[in-house]
């Protein structure tokens, strides 16, 4: 039903698009929040493994394998920020 003087876009399409955009934003925030929680969990786990073995680590380069998953997720965060 179209009200006189208002187009179909003003009465139906625009409110539906705003509702869809709002739902998409909520999903995006939920996914990014879960991804950040996952990153923190991996970081804590990898940090504990690093601290257990820090006497055997001679340099910064030797420590990088202990943080492989966290560094990988940081790369994904970078890609998300770019796109």
> Which residue, among 71, 79, 80, has the nearest Cα to 31 in the 3D structure?
80
Q: Which residue has the higher pLDDT, 83 or 48?
A: 48
**pLDDT at position 29 over 70:** yes
Q: What is the mean pLDDT of residues 27-54?
A: 93
Q: What is the mean pLDDT of residues 6-10?
A: 63
Distance, CA of 18 to CA of 38 (rounded, Å): 30
So what's the pLDDT on residue 3?
A: 55
Contact yes or no for 11/3 (Cβ under 8 A): yes
Contact yes or no for 44/17 (Cβ under 8 A): no
pTM: 0.68
């Amino acid at each position: 039903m179209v009200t006189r003087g208002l187009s179909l876009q003003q009465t139906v399409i625009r409110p539906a698009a705003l509702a869809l955009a709002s739902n998409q934003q909520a999903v995006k925030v939920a996914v990014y929040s879960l991804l950040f929680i996952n990153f923190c969990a991996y970081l804590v786990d990898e940090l504990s493994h690093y601290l257990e073995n820090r006497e055997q680590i001679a340099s910064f380069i030797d420590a990088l394998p202990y943080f492989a998953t966290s560094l990988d997720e940081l790369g994904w965060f970078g890609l998300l920020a770019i796109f």
